A and B are shown apart, each in its own frame.
Chain A
Amino acid sequence: MASMSPEQGSGDMAAYQATDTPEPESDVPSFADVAEHGHAASELDPDAEPVLTVENLRMYFPVRSPGLIRRKIGDVQAVDGISFEVPKGGSLGLVGESGCGKSTTGRLITRLYKPTGGSMQFEGVDLAKLSNRELKPLRRNVQMIFQDPYTSLNPRQTVGAIVSAPLQVHNILPRNQIKRRVQELLEVVGLSPEHYNRYPNEFSGGQRQRIGIARALTLNPKLLVADEPVSALDVSIQAQVINLLQDIQQEFGVAFLFIAHDLAVVRHFCPEVAVMYLGKIVEIGDRDSIYSNAHHPYTQALLSAVPDVKQAVTGERRERIRLTGDVPSPIDPPSGCRFRTRCPIAQEICARHEPPLLQIGKRHKVACHFPGRLGEHPREPFTARLLGVDAEGQPDPGSSPATDLVEQPGYADTWFDLDAKTIGRA
């Protein structure tokens, strides 16, 4: 950046660049202007149709033995049977710690990887089954925003070439209209049309991320996969980019699969959130269900671990749940529930059986044998009868296991109401 001459930046850099000469007051917006453009948290449209339906998606990466004959000796079960829906024009957040499979999921949906199994229905087509050639016309509908704005832009191409590449690949516009379209896009993301001929190294991190966003928008996608779009940016720039993404969502009705480890940003951006652990979804639901009414001990531990300014100053710190140890290896995940090795409430049944993802609210599902609010987890496994086992997880000949425990994307009209101990209905 040291080689950047003072005149080169403009757009949001202009305010600072012009400071050599006293500038008119109007160059800096007033607080009211800025506040007006800052968005509150996105809201859920419960009636939106799904734009993407993912069912039992799996991705196994083979592990090969060292040496000449590279025999397959196992699999990294990066994503192991997850199901969810992304509503049209809405956003689903995918959170979890490193290695939980959230980025792999994003790469599967954009088909940077071909899944090992499962389906991804997008507008009546199963993206998981298509060949690369069949996929090409569909790729324009699903685009990706990457985490690192430094490595995801080709340093030898101009901004114009980067943003127009999708138009040329898909042969959408005649050559003489491409430039105008790109300049339009640059304006949409808050850059100046004159940036067309500049190179990525002339821009700051936040501006580069805007270029990446412009590129993703070029083909009017219906779904954007944003993989940690702000975690590489400075704090003050993160808010600019989040607000821009919210603007884009409102203006163009794009749906987002928003992958991030920052629970607070996900809470702000996504009305619906899925929590992943070791390749599985452990809890999924709308914002309130996850952040104010979490029933899975992992979600509760994650939330309690987030440092929070408000709680620290008001002194209302809830007790931090200390998880011991690290995430186990996905090559050889624990039997039964994958979280049991770090779970504060694990019992015998957890090692024997994998908990099914049960719907426990209108828009709330959890995969735990002992689902409950913090400190109110039941003593007896809630799932034992459904699985046809006793409280220790041993087969129980007297019980009749439920046969319809297959994980479905989306939500059913009936659910297990844990508080009322009845079946809840919409």
Chain B
Amino acid sequence: MDDPLLVVEDLTVQFPTEDGVVTAVSNLSYQVELGKTLGIVGESGSGKSVSSMAVLGLHDARSARITGSIRVRGTEVVGMSEAKLRKLRGNEIAMIFQDALAALHPFYRVGGQLAEAYRVHHPSASKRDARRKAIEMLDRVGIPKPDRRVDDFPHQFSGGMRQRAMIAMGLINDPSLLIADEPTTALDVTVQAQILDLLQDLQREFNSAVIIITHDLGVIAEMADDVLVMYAGRAVEYGPCKEIMVHPEMPYTWGLLSSVPDVTSDTSARMIPIPGNPPSLLSPPTGCAFHPRCVHRDKVPGDLCSTTLPELIPGGRGPQHLKRCHLSNSDAIYEAEVLPEIAPDLVEEP
């Protein structure tokens, strides 16, 4: 079997600031295969965007210290020259941003911006070819009358259409990896559903790998094959999506699941918040970064949680499902204590 398309190993991203060194991502490892979707979940400041920007080499070498390894088809990205990176971006890896209005240039026509993205990587293509390609891509992502809309400015597009145009721009060079950073957060639910459907259709068609970054567990549950849960710059749980949604093993993941209601959940389900706030990355807590907010700490003997950082290792549910937690019987605790409160209808009668 070939190597996965993207392998991230031991990635650490640090930003020296006046107040000290901010470690935005520490020792992060994951991989994505062609045709698969990885969902990265976490709150603001968890390092989910910073880590994927590193994959594209978007961090300024003067302000960021990046160690570890990021390999795309076996080629190392960390430390790559700017010229080589430019070839990689767009061609092999593309990114879709949350705010399409800010990501599109307001002065240039949508079609021109798409054509530019094409011509950068196809220097021999004529202007007319690039324009034809732009129209074709707009049509692919479901923009009505693409031959006319291609000459519109971004402000003439609605929010959903702009996001479609961004996806078109991302896919115009047929990249094998698409990174979508909160692609639907700014959109209404019906438009979000359209965009998620579109992403799934396109992925099936082009057999590309997708990384979808979001804080919405519902989006992850519907889109992802694998899930990576991040907290304070580290992976705290990593494994197959369904496995993590049904048998989460890390109390932070439990907290995320119990903080959001479902439209279909039992109305007696409680909304249980995670106490406290996400930590500052300037001086992260010792031991497990989540321990100051963890309500299950009392089940771990001694002060292990506050002194020792747990390893990201398989818990009790097979080698695929990794967790970073000192709790030994977390699956049983989840079923016995957490699930009855947050989803009483899912608890199986003995």
User: Does B156 lie at the interface of the complex (its beta carbon under 8 Å from any beta carbon of A)?
Assistant: no
A235 and B276 contact, CB distance less than 8 A = no
Indicate whether B124 reaches chain A with its CB closer than 8 angstroms.
no
Give the size of the chain A interface in residues (CB under 8 angstroms): 71
Q: Mark A318-352, 1 if CB is under 8 A from B, else 0.
A: 00101101100000000000000000000000000
Residues in B whose Cβ lies below 8 Å from that of A4? 280
> In the complex the two chains form, is B277's CB within 8 Å of A206's CB?
yes
Tell whether, in the assembled complex, residue B271 and residue A242 are in contact, meaning their CB atoms are under 8 Å apart.
yes
In contact, B273 and A236 (Cβ under 8 angstroms)? yes
Q: Check A267 against B296 for contact (C-beta < 8 Å).
A: no
Residues of B within 8 A of A312 (CB): 218, 221-222, 245
> Chain B residues near A234 (CB, 8 Å)?
43-44, 215, 278
- Please, which residues of chain A bring their CB within 8 A of the CB of B144? 325
Binds A, one of B105-113, B147-155, B191-199: B191-199
Stretch at the interface among A33-41, A212-220, A353-361: A33-41
Please measure, in the bound complex, the distance between the C-alpha atom of A283 and the C-alpha atom of B125, giving whole angstroms: 53
B256, A268: Cβ atoms closer than 8 Å: no
Interface residues on chain B, size class: 35 or more
Flag if A239 contacts B285 (CB, 8 Å).
no
A-B contacts at CB below 8 angstroms, number: 211
Task: Collect the chain A residues with CB atoms within 8 Å of residue B245's CB.
Answer: 309, 312-313
The residue in A9, A238, A310, A311 that gathers the most chain B C-beta atoms within 10 A of its C-beta is A310
Chain A residues with CB under 8 Å of B337's CB are 31-32, 35
Is there an interface contact between A239 and B258, defined as CB atoms closer than 8 Å?
yes
B217 to chain A, nearest CB (A): 5
- B residues in contact with A1, CB < 8 Å: 280
Please give the distance in Å from B340's CB to the nearest CB on chain A.
9
Measured in the bound complex, the distance between the Cα atoms of B337 and A234 in whole Å is 24
A309 touches B218 (CB 8 A): yes
Binary per-residue interface labels of chain A (152-180) against chain B in the complex, 1 for a CB within 8 Å, 0 otherwise: 00000000000000000000000000000
Most B C-beta atoms less than 10 A away, residue of A13, A264, A303? A264
**B271–A243 CB distance below 8 A:** yes
B251 — nearest CB in chain A belongs to which residue? A31
Q: Give Cα A6–Cα B217 distance, bound, in whole angstroms.
A: 31
| A291 with B276: CB separation less than 8 A | no
Q: 24 A-B pairs, CB-CB below 8 angstroms?
A: A4-B280, A12-B276, A19-B285, A19-B286, A20-B283, A29-B295, A31-B338, A41-B268, A41-B269, A97-B188, A236-B255, A236-B278, A239-B259, A239-B274, A240-B275, A243-B271, A264-B265, A307-B216, A308-B221, A308-B222, A309-B217, A310-B265, A320-B193, A325-B144
Given contacts A15-B275, A28-B275, A33-B295, 18 further A-B contacts (CB under 8 A): A2-B17, A15-B292, A35-B270, A39-B270, A204-B277, A234-B278, A237-B273, A238-B259, A238-B273, A239-B271, A261-B188, A267-B263, A302-B190, A310-B265, A312-B218, A313-B221, A313-B242, A317-B222
Interface residues of B (CB under 8 A from A): 17-19, 43-44, 144, 158-161, 188-194, 196-197, 215-219, 221-222, 242, 245-246, 255-265, 267-280, 282-283, 285-286, 291-298, 303, 306-307, 337-338, 341, 343, 346
